[in-house]
Amino acid sequence: MSSSQPNPVLSQSPEVVLIDVLAQAAERSPDLKRALLLSAVPRWFDAEVVEGMFPRDEPPRISIDEIVQYLTALPFTELNPMRDNAWRFRDEYREQLLKHDAIAEQWAELHSRAAELFKHRFDAKASVGEKKFEDRGLKDIAVEYVYHLQQ
């Protein structure tokens, strides 16, 4: 399908699309459904973010590569224009995913996990001295850390 033609799936409401997508994901692998919901908490994701959103004591049973491949093939996933090798869900789909009971019930815990993930990423990448203020990628990670702290 060419990029100029709208995806017929997306002509339906996000609620309807997500009911089907979540059911199909759960049928294929419970970890895909978990990943879809967990990956909606951060405003963008890559393989490291997807992996970090799973609880340490409950890692996925399928590979992160397989999960990312699945997530990036969804019709409401788009490349993040601000980061290389990162994606995001279209706003209306992310908003709907965030209303799911599995997310709402763990809101604080999931945002805390996301904040910890971005803080770890910031610390690992942090440049020394004034150069850290010139690194756009580092600033973006810091913004994500602060965003999740405030949720």
The DSSP result for 83-140, as a single string, is STT-EEE-HHHHHHHHTSHHHHTTHHHHHHHHHHHHHHHHHHHPPSGGGGGT-HHHHH
Residue type, 119: K
pLDDT tens by residue, 58-94: 999 999 999 999 999 999 999 999 888 999 999 999 9
134 pLDDT band, cuts 50/70/90, is low
Least confident of 4-8, 21-25, 37-41, 118-122: 4-8
Q: CA distances (Å), 7 to each of 34, 71, 78, 85, 117, in order?
A: 24, 16, 13, 23, 33
pLDDT in tens, 35-67: 999 999 999 999 999 999 999 999 999 999 999
